[in-house]
Amino acid sequence: MRREASWLLTISVILYLIGIAIGYSVDGIRLHSQEFLSRQLVIFFVGLFSFFLFSYIEYKDKMKLLGLVLLNGIVIVLLIIVLGFGDQVNGAKRWIELLGGFKLQPSEFAKFVVILDLSVYFAYFRDKAKSVFYGIFIPLIISGVFCVLIFLERDLGTPVIIMSCVFVVMLYAGVNKKVLIMLTPIAFIFIFVAIFSEEYRIDRLINTIFYDRDLRGAGAQVFQAMVAYYRGGLFGMGLGNGMSKSGALPLPSRDFPFALWAEETGIVGATFLTLLFFGFVYIGLETAKKAPTYKASILSLGITLLIGLQSLFMMLVNEGWLPVKGMCIPFVSTGGSSFVANMMMLGCLVSIAIKKNGVTEEKQTTMPLPVEVGKPILRSF
């Protein structure tokens, strides 16, 4: 096994164990511990199956057009079902009720499918990437279909993360940079309009900036997250001893795990967790640069960006720098759909990392990543 694959697995296992520790600290005490562990075992084995499925199937095969079309169709249908029949929580419809009290969140899988789509698309149309139609318009349509459906769920954060990754992937693919830069202000205008067209989004933004106006009401979540960091100090209150989980923070094991981890392990623990994600992103970029094909390189880059950006986004939310958002920190939050989707992506990433000399029949060239990390060795179409 290559060094990158070993490190990816090691970091992911540590992140998962941290997530279990946080989840048990919250749900294992609130619920019966046996019930919590039973649920997590089911989620773990589904995620483990997904990991092996996507790591043992050759990534050339799993990107075959028919299978990819089928995967797209399934996710799009699930996103439509959510809009019509999904469970509504806090005004948002994002989950489908399953047997045994489990819930499915299709938007978590949509992020992965978008990256799969773009990796295949740019591999086929690499020589047309400079064309505005093939290089920018079509990729935006592909990703836009998923983003619109997710946005209709009253979810703005996920489309923002997806489109941020899409923009970087397009830059890497060599699209017309001038046109892409011209489109960037339009994206910011859309985000601005989306925020100020919904009263609850305006309230979240105001309450993040001026949280001290209502410490027991609208600003309580931001304030309590900050209090959690303050209580943690340098070394924390000890695992299981955090006070924020007892009602001060809503869904702490899912939406605020970083704040709770900082409270129980202090600055030292929070720094360690942050460094783990930085390490994951670094190794993911190394994997993308050493990938055996251009297709695999784009896939590795996209997966790394998704996990890295979502982690950064939610850690900033937990620290009160961004408005409160119901989203998971990859591998750490207790969301089942998030964990399974991340295990699928990890399976692809590890598979590519192992295959340093995997595909030899494709034409190989050298092409640097947008971020210069290590020595670029990229075999591609």
Distance between CA 81 and CA 72 in Å, rounded?
A: 14
Half-sphere exposure of residue 279: CA atoms within 13 angstroms, side-chain side: 18
Read off the tokens for 81. 């079902």
pLDDT tens sequence across 216-251:
776 788 888 888 888 999 999 988 888 877 766 777
| DSSP annotation string for 189-203 | HHHHHHHHTSHHHHH
- Answer whether 0.85 is exceeded by the pTM: yes
CA neighbor of 124 nearest in space, from 109, 135, 110, 111: 135
Using alpha carbons, select from 155, 324, 328, 341 the residue that is nearest to residue 254.
328
For residue 378, report the phi and psi dihedrals to the nearest 5 degrees. -125, 115
Element (H, E) at 19: helix 3-30
Residue 95 host element (H or E):
strand 92-97
Q: Beta-carbon neighbour count of residue 46 at 10 Å? A: 16
Residue 65: both structure tokens together? 């057009």
Count Cβ atoms below 10 Å from residue 178 Cβ, excluding itself: 9
In this predicted model, what pLDDT tens digit does every residue of 252-282 receive, in sequence order? 788 889 999 999 999 999 999 999 999 999 9
pLDDT at 27 over 50: yes
pLDDT tens string 358-374 = 433 344 433 444 444 43
- Tokens coding 6: 């070993």
Angle made by CA atoms 251, 13, 313, in degrees to the nearest 5: 45
| Distance from C-alpha of 162 to C-alpha of 305, rounded to nearest angstrom | 9
DSSP state letter for 101: G
